Amino acid sequence: MKTINIKHWTSDKDIKFLFSILKKEKEEVRFIGGCVRDLIIKKRDSDIDLATTIVPIQVLKILKKSKIKTLVSGISHGTVIAFINKKKFEITTLRKDIKTDGRHAIVKYTGDWVVDSQRRDFTINAISCDFKGGLYDYHNGIDDLKKGKINFIGDTTKRIKEDYLRILRFFRFYAYYGKNNLKKTDLKICKDCSPFLRKLSAERIYSEFKKILESDYSYRALNLMKKNNILQYIVFGKVDLKKIENLEKFHINKKFINFYLKLCALLPENIGSLNKTIKFLKLSNITIKKISKIFFHKKKFVLGKTKRDILKAAYIFGKDLFIDLAILDYTKHKKNSVNLKKYIKAINLVKKLTLPKFPIEGKDVLNSSIKPGPLVGKILQQVEKWWIENDFKPNKKECITKIKKFITT
């Protein structure tokens, strides 16, 4: 049997405790899925997921007896979530699907690890590991993982029809782990089944699509989705993937390439298509606010040639928005090293800047014999514009003097 070093798991007191209370005669618990997959290729650990032969009701009783906080929203599918010292552990009972409709499944619990593995989606997600580090790989997942192959377990059509979200998961795992071209037959099946993505909830689609965008290599997955007429079921209107490709080439400052930037680069310019996509994905108010802010300002943004121009733009937009707009502006141009250096230089300059503070506020206008009302804000804006044009140099006294000049004009 192949083994793997899991010392950092077995030495974790919370994991040790969880395994100790779930230890029952003739029952078994293993690490499974993402955490095992990522440990094998020395990738950052995923959340710890466990599989067990113990039925969910018994799992729940064991956890409650040990006064462990639980969440049971997925118990109908065999999953109980345990929370220990702010760590989340998903514990799922071995199962097999009795009936599926592409969205939900009716399951039956089993004690057979092979049977449970056969209902999983991809070979790289079906690897399990016991508390001694012994690996169980029933579908050649370890070899596929190391070679970067994304293979369905068993019949591809059947796997997809069990849950149409697996279409998106196929491209997500390709973005993160793929090294080889995807099978043409699998791509065709995904394409043929893609209209059924409409059966899925917006929340499930958005959650999976977000993970694709968050990948450092989302372009290749999105490009395949577009070529196979799958992307059209998620993003409506004309999509310019060249911007996504260019974002990913901004490799030196990859830490600046966030989900919101990628989403903004991907979303169509047409306001009707944009609103349709936002509505379909049921984006949160926070997400809508962030991307709307970028969309509203991006047409006004011009990367200045001088330090003075950059300082003014950073003050007007704010440092964070300036960086987002600069990176997004970069995606519109053809790539060359000089162009890239120019943008990186501007971003690094803004990062280090301490932005000047406008020396007056509304009460200073009121103190100049102006009654409360819209005129106060208008005069304040006029003085601030004058202050910016004068390179932020006028002090408070000079700005107050300027207030009086605006009043008399």
Q: Which domain holds residue 296?
A: 236-355
Last residue of one domain, picked from the residues 147, 162, 194? 147
Q: Do residue 267 and residue 277 come from a single domain? A: yes
Coil/strand/helix, residue 322:
helix
Q: Do residue 337 and residue 294 come from a single domain? A: yes
Q: Do residue 190 and residue 216 come from a single domain? A: yes
Give me the sign of the Cα torsion angle 61, 67, 73, 74.
negative
List the CATH number of the domain containing 63: 3.30.460.10
Q: Do residue 1 and residue 87 come from a single domain? A: yes
Strands 49-52 and 29-32: antiparallel
- C-alpha 150/C-alpha 171 separation (Å) is 9
The alpha carbons of the chain give a radius of gyration, in whole angstroms, of: 28
Q: Do residue 228 and residue 250 come from a single domain? A: no
Question: Alpha helices, DSSP H only, in 299-336?
Answer: 307-317, 319-330
- C-alpha 204/C-alpha 211 separation (Å) is 11
Full pLDDT tens readout for the chain, 409 residues = 899 999 999 999 999 999 999 998 889 999 999 999 999 998 876 789 999 999 999 999 999 999 999 998 878 888 999 999 989 999 999 998 877 766 676 788 999 999 999 999 999 999 999 999 999 999 999 999 999 999 999 999 999 999 999 999 999 999 999 998 899 999 999 999 999 999 999 999 999 999 999 998 899 999 999 999 999 999 998 888 988 988 887 765 567 788 888 898 898 888 888 889 889 999 999 999 998 899 889 888 999 889 999 999 999 999 999 999 999 998 887 665 568 888 888 999 999 989 999 998 888 888 877 788 888 888 899 999 999 999 999 999 999 888 877 776 5
Question: Alpha helices, DSSP H only, in 164-238?
Answer: 166-177, 184-193, 202-214, 218-227
Q: Do residue 290 and residue 341 come from a single domain? A: yes
User: End-to-end CA distance of the chain, in Å?
Assistant: 87
Q: Do residue 264 and residue 321 come from a single domain? A: yes
Q: Do residue 131 and residue 267 come from a single domain? A: no
221 CB-side CA count, 13 A: 26
pTM above 0.75, yes or no: yes
The domain tally of the chain equals 4
Q: Do residue 228 and residue 246 come from a single domain? A: no
Residues forming beta bridges with residue 80, ordered by sequence position: 91
Coil/strand/helix, residue 365:
helix
List the CATH number of the domain containing 186: 1.10.3090.10
- C-alpha 59/C-alpha 81 separation (Å) is 10
Q: Do residue 13 and residue 128 come from a single domain? A: yes
